[in-house]
Chains A and B, each alone.
Chain A
Amino acid sequence: DTAVSQTPKYLVTQMGNDKSIKCEQNLGHDTMYWYKQDSKKFLKIMFSYNNKELIINETVPNRFSPKSPDKAHLNLHINSLELGDSAVYFCASSPTGLAGPHYEQYFGPGTRLTVT
């Protein structure tokens, strides 16, 4: 069983469009995350979210918005896509705040977004 899944795996779109990436985890975790990996392979946290609190990295443009219909899903919606948004986006999940005996953070397979 896939622990953290993302769809789509690849997404090619034009500048100015709005797109969404979906993420689901079946681990029963309370906290989910979105990370961006740029062309230089640098990984950066974008958001963390549990059912109580959304933490937004201050460097993330407000064109990006996470949406969580329930605890097992955290989707990423991007408005007015720009060339610089091209990257691989990884969803991840963990027990709340990495507390307790379970410290692992599990990553999804990634979504490669290409904006033309």
Chain B
Amino acid sequence: ELKVEQNPLFLSMQEGKNYTIYCNYSTTSDRLYWYRQDPGKSLESLFVLLSNGAVKQEGRLMASLDTKARLSTLHITAAVHDLSATYFCAVAGGSGGSQGNLIFGKGTKLSVKP
């Protein structure tokens, strides 16, 4: 059974600081997703990582994937208050008809303070 673990689950940061969220998964998968969720809102797709060594950046967020280590990271550079949200990683699990099912980590609640 595919399991996805994120850490930390809670992260309180000061503006301007850097930090990294980690996502480990238990079995082979070639697709890893990062989503952002604001309180009471839906999930917003941030990154889709498809291959070993993939790195994607958008603004202050950068995601990377190491399929051999089964590890993805979401790096936050010079955090600003607007980045406060819950961040989820998810891995495409299953095969055949269930290959699109996403298995989610528990989420990292990020709070950026002045």
Contacts and interface: CB of A to CB of B under 8 A. Distances in A.
Contact of A97 (B35, B90, B100, B107): B100
B106 A41 contact: yes
B104 A94 contact: no
Given A103-B50, A104-B48, A105-B33, A90 B100 contact: no
Contacts of A52: 97
Contact of A98 (B37, B42, B100): B100
Given A41-B107, A44-B104, A103-B31, A109 B97 contact: no
B43 A90 contact: yes
B45 interface: yes
Given A48-B98, A103-B31, A42 B92 contact: no
B5 to A, nearest CB: 12
Interface residues of A, number: 30
A88 to B, nearest CB: 9
A110 B39 CA distance: 12
Contacts of A108: 42
B92 A41 contact: no
A106 B100 contact: no
Interface string A30-45: 0101010000111111
Given A41-B106, A43-B88, A44-B104, A107 B97 contact: no
Interface of A: 31, 33, 35, 40-45, 48, 50, 52-53, 55, 57, 90, 92, 94, 96-99, 103-110
Given A33-B101, A97-B96, 16 more contacts: A33-B100, A33-B102, A41-B106, A42-B106, A42-B107, A43-B90, A43-B102, A55-B98, A90-B43, A97-B97, A97-B99, A97-B100, A98-B92, A103-B31, A103-B48, A106-B45
